[in-house]
Structures are given as C-alpha cells and as structure tokens.
Amino acid sequence: MKRVILFFYVMFLCVSSTLAKSDPDIKSQSALVFNPLSERVIYEKNADKVMPIASITKLMTAMVTLDARLPSHEMITITQADVDKLKRTSSRLPVGSSYPRHELLRLALMSSENRAAAALGRSYPGGINAFVKAMNQKARKIGMTRSYFVDSTGLNSNNVATARDLAKLVKSAYHYTAIREFSTTSKHFVSPGNKRGNLQYVNSNALISSQNWEIAVSKTGYLNEAGRCLVMQANISAQPVVIVLLNSWGKNTRIGDANRVKKWIENNPNRKQV
C-alpha cells in the first residue's frame, strides 16, 4: 500500500512540474513570444486583441524615417507644433533648440522622447499627414493587418495593433542597424544649445543595462489607455526571441514578465509550439 501511495505521489510531482513549465505565468493582458528565424510562436496570450500601443509606435516612426533616406545630419528645430497638447507630457528639448535628425531618432527610440518623435514626423517630406500615411503603408507591407497609426509619437490612443502584429514590427525593425544601435543605447548626452549644458538621457528599458540580457531591439510604451508595454528582440538560449508584452498595469510587471519568459525558455529547451 505504501508503495502505491509513493508511486502516485511521485507521479503527482512529475505532472505538477510539467504543468509549471508549460506556461511562463505572464501577467500582461496580451503577449506573444516568437522565434523570428523559424517564425514559430512559442507562447501567446490574447495575441490577436487590438489594443493601444503607446510609444511602441516609435519603432514604426524610426523605420519610416530611415526608409526615406533623409540626411541624418540635417538639423531639425523643435517648434511649438512638436509640443504635446494631447496628454501634456513634458520634454527637456526646448522649443527653438536644434538637433541632427539622427540625434532625434536616438532619443525617440532609447528614451521615448515625444518632441523628438513629433519633429521627425513633422519634418518628413509632405509633413505629418504624409508621414502617417507612410506609417500605415509600411504596416501593410510587413503584414501588420490589424494595426493603425495616427501620429508619430504614440501619444494618441488610436495608435493600435495586436501583439501578433507587433512581433512583425520588431522582426522588421531588427533589420535596421540604426534601430538596433539607438534602441539599445543605455545612456546618451545631447546639448540643447543653451547655458544649461548637456542633457543626459537614459534608456526607458531597465533591462538594457542588465548583464543577464543580450538585447538587440527594444522599445517601451506607456499611456493610461495602453498600460505599460514592452517589445524586444533578444538572444535567449543562443536563439533570437521576440517578446511582446501589452497592458502591464503594475510598475514593474512588464520587466517581471520579460524575466519570466527568459527563465521559462532557458528551463524548457524542448518546449513545443503553442
């Protein structure tokens, strides 16, 4: 009798262990984990739900800017048109200050600088309307069939997508050298050209500075309507992995989810496709 009980107890432990490894316990409302080489979905949760994406938008802003092959060193002046009148977010880029296009691109990607992203859209040939049109054309081209863009910053909650579409966005963004470099810059200094001296910007993704992560593309986002969002492409267990996390309401939930995904993949080398 004792042997029978012991047998079932061992079986229970084995089943419990298997179940524990079958799900990374993601807290974000929507998520997708994806291998961009094999195009294999590793994990998904509400991956086809259309949701606001906040500043994840800036990855598309960067691709459209780079596709246009505009002069990277051309000076762009911040104007009143770049000031956020929708959400009234702050910025350390003063109206009247000027920066090379590549500096604005870096600030938009690494620290989600809204005036930088607004200026990139405004200075596009044809202005912001032409820029937004190009954003939506690019989305269709790379297969983002359930996404829609209305501005270059992501401050408008009508910028929407699914986690599945955003995996395609990250995969495409990886092919741009500037996006890989700028989105993973840990800190950067710029001069606004006034007596305050240089301004230091840090990456909005704390994982960029972690020695435990090898991140190739990164972008965070936050709006009340979108929650806290994070998309990345990183090398985990010697393979590229795209991670999309949307609507994480806790301050550190998206970081915790990313770490849970990483640990889950590392502990489950023979995981099966969802």
Catalytic option among 45, 58, 168, 171: 58
pLDDT bin (cut points 50, 70, 90) of residue 134 is very high
**Can you give the pLDDT at residue 170?**
98
18 token code pair: 């298997």
Query: Alpha-carbon distance 96 to 80, whole Å?
Result: 8
**Can you give the pLDDT at residue 3?**
54
pLDDT one-digit tens code per residue, 167-198: 999 999 999 999 999 999 999 999 887 666 89
**Can you give the pLDDT at residue 265?**
96
What is the mean pLDDT of the segment spanning 76-101? 96
Catalytic option among 28, 30, 55, 218: 55
Angle of the 114-122 helix axis to the 127-141 helix axis, nearest 10: 100
- Res 247 pLDDT > 80: yes
Q: Give Cα separations from 28 to 15, 87, 101, 238, 262 (angstroms).
A: 26, 23, 34, 25, 15
**Can you give the pLDDT at residue 272?**
41
Is residue 176 within 8 Å of residue 62, measured between CB atoms? yes
pLDDT bin (cut points 50, 70, 90) of residue 250 is confident
Residue 142: its H or E element: none
- Is 187 labeled as catalytic in the residue annotation? no
**Can you give the pLDDT at residue 7?**
45
Which range is least confidently modeled, 95-99, 101-105, 195-199?
195-199
**Can you give the pLDDT at residue 102?**
98
Amino acid of residue 79: T
Catalytic option among 28, 30, 111, 112: 112
- Res 11 pLDDT > 80: no
What is the mean pLDDT of the segment spanning 12-17? 39
- Is 58 labeled as catalytic in the residue annotation? yes
Percent of the chain with pLDDT over 70: 89
**Can you give the pLDDT at residue 16?**
37
- Res 47 pLDDT > 70: yes
Mean pLDDT of the chain: 91
- Res 146 pLDDT > 60: yes
Q: Closest Cα to residue 102, out of 181, 29, 32, 164?
A: 181
Please state the φ and ψ torsions of residue 110, each to the nearest 5 degrees. Answer: -80, -40
- Res 253 pLDDT > 50: yes
Q: Beta-carbon neighbour count of residue 158 at 10 Å?
A: 10
pLDDT bin (cut points 50, 70, 90) of residue 98 is very high
- Is 147 labeled as catalytic in the residue annotation? no
Determine the topology of domain 25-267 in CATH: Beta-lactamase (3.40.710)
